[in-house]
Amino acid sequence: MNEALTKKHPCYDSNAAGKVARIHLPVAPKCNIQCKYCSRKYDCVNESRPGVTSEVLSPAQAVLYLEKVAEKIPIGVVGIAGPGDAFAEPEKTLETIRLCRAKFPDMVFCLSTNGLALPEHISELAASGVTHVTITINTLDPEVGKNIYSWARFEKRNYRGIDASRLLIDRQLESVQLLVEHGISVKINTILIPGVNEEQILPIAKMAKAYGCELMNIIPLIPVEGTVFENITESSCAVVESHRSDAQEFVRQSRHCKRCRADAVGILGEETDAEIRKLLSDASTSATGFTEERTKVAFVSREGVLVNQHLGEAGEFYIYEQIGDNLALSETREAPPAGTGERRWAEVAAVLKDCAYLLTSGAGDRPVKALGGSGINVLTIEGLAHDAASRLFRGEAVAHLKKRESCKAGNCGSGNGCG
């Protein structure tokens, strides 16, 4: 295990919690399972719980963000904790780790995952210098698991009910075993769901001991509006502590968790200030996508001036390029016809093969992922296309144009924990 590094990790060592600053890089928006307590749809600085972030970054943007934050805060630990699962799109997570370690080799690197897609990547994680991994395991019993998980997607196949639960548990146990074998410290997170998995706490603690896990973190469920468990009452601190005391017999317990956001930064439990939030916002719209082959910016519009059209409705693309010192609206290109499914996005990628950015007022997850895989950054914004394009060509952020939806204040959880 990594005892010396663990003493520098605020999630693993309570003494480090008030001394060592950490940063979560929100580069993993997708998830490969659906937990019945989870919702990632809110974007609100007032809501403090896992699965929430104000922005999502590309790997290149994550490095830029880390560099800017490190100029202001002495960051000791770099983590990836969502807002989805770190291995739903493993290439993003692994690329982020590679890029960040190249810039900051002395920082501690960690990540959180449900473990479903983890086993195939553990050797690479160990080689890349990741020293700590957290796996959320809520049950070892598939019959209980079917009441916690709605579905799981693995190797392009969908699983539901007890099949999803059984697959996930098997893969989680395989992940824990392989991580320990590779010398990576393992923390088990378990969400305590009253009336659902309370009897699973001790079996999980016994498993953690048998497999050589370093720490267990029993986390009371945060009821989230719109989820299956929205009406379950959160366990009191006394109840949570009772479970921790029982589990302590088998594995060391965490008692200082603050249930951090996927974009948390700074000392554990301290509120992120506005200046750091602006760095995240700026990084999310920073121009990191230009290459020798991709030198232009495309946008969709009803009249050719404002970015005010959904990508799915686009009949043509307007193209900006830099000609000398001037920004020119140089041409329009016909969009491939709608109704062809995935083929359309491959055709769009071909039409825009020399474009680094595509600006639109709205886009679905599938085209964003497909075009992103082809090297086109899809930015959902609103406002003047010329303003956005000129900023991108200057390497500036377009955060002030970015569209967003926020949760209602009444939906926000406290996230203060029971520690």
In terms of Cβ atoms closer than 10 Å to its own Cβ (0-12, 13-18, 19+), residue 291 is exposed
Q: What is the pLDDT of residue 281?
A: 82
How far apart are the C-alpha atoms of 30 and 411, rounded to whole Å?
A: 22
Cis, bond preceding 337 (omega within 30 deg of 0)? no
Select from 386, 379, 392, 372 the least CA-distant residue to 286: 392
Q: In the structure encoding, which two tokens stand for residue 1, read together?
A: 């295990």
Q: What is the pLDDT of residue 224?
A: 83
Residue extent(s) of CATH 3.30.420.130 domains in the chain: 290-401
Domain 3-283 has CATH 1.20.120.1200: no
Q: What is the pLDDT of residue 374?
A: 80
Residues 6+ apart with CB under 8 A from 274: none
How far apart are the C-alpha atoms of 112 and 55, rounded to whole Å?
A: 18
Class of domain 290-401: alpha beta
In terms of Cβ atoms closer than 10 Å to its own Cβ (0-12, 13-18, 19+), residue 396 is middle
Residues 6+ apart with CB under 8 A from 399: 278, 281, 282, 284, 285
DSSP bridge partners of 217: 189
Residues of the chain under the 50 pLDDT cut: 42, 45-46, 405-419
How far apart are the C-alpha atoms of 129 and 77, rounded to whole Å?
A: 12
Task: Look up tokens 């969709």; give the residue.
Answer: 300
Q: What is the pLDDT of residue 412?
A: 41
Q: How many CB atoms lie within 10 A of CB 16?
A: 22
Per residue in 96-116, pLDDT tens? Answer: 999 999 999 999 999 999 999
Q: What is the pLDDT of residue 270?
A: 75
How far apart are the C-alpha atoms of 138 and 303, rounded to whole Å?
A: 52
- CA 114 centroid distance within chain: 12
DSSP 83: B
Q: How many CB atoms lie within 10 A of CB 210?
A: 12
Task: Look up tokens 């009253």; give the residue.
Answer: 194
Query: Pairing state of beta strands 75-80 and 130-136?
Result: unpaired
Residue extent(s) of CATH 3.20.20.70 domains in the chain: 3-283
Per residue in 181-211, pLDDT tens? Answer: 999 999 999 999 999 999 999 999 999 999 9
How far apart are the C-alpha atoms of 39 and 49, rounded to whole Å?
A: 10
How far apart are the C-alpha atoms of 135 and 180, rounded to whole Å?
A: 12
Q: What is the pLDDT of residue 411?
A: 41
Q: In the structure encoding, which two tokens stand for residue 306, read together?
A: 């404002």
Q: What is the pLDDT of residue 60?
A: 83
How far apart are the C-alpha atoms of 333 and 301, rounded to whole Å?
A: 12
Task: Look up tokens 């602006």; give the residue.
Answer: 278
Q: What is the pLDDT of residue 152?
A: 95
Select from 275, 262, 254 the least CA-distant residue to 17: 254
Contact 55, 286 (CB under 8 A): no
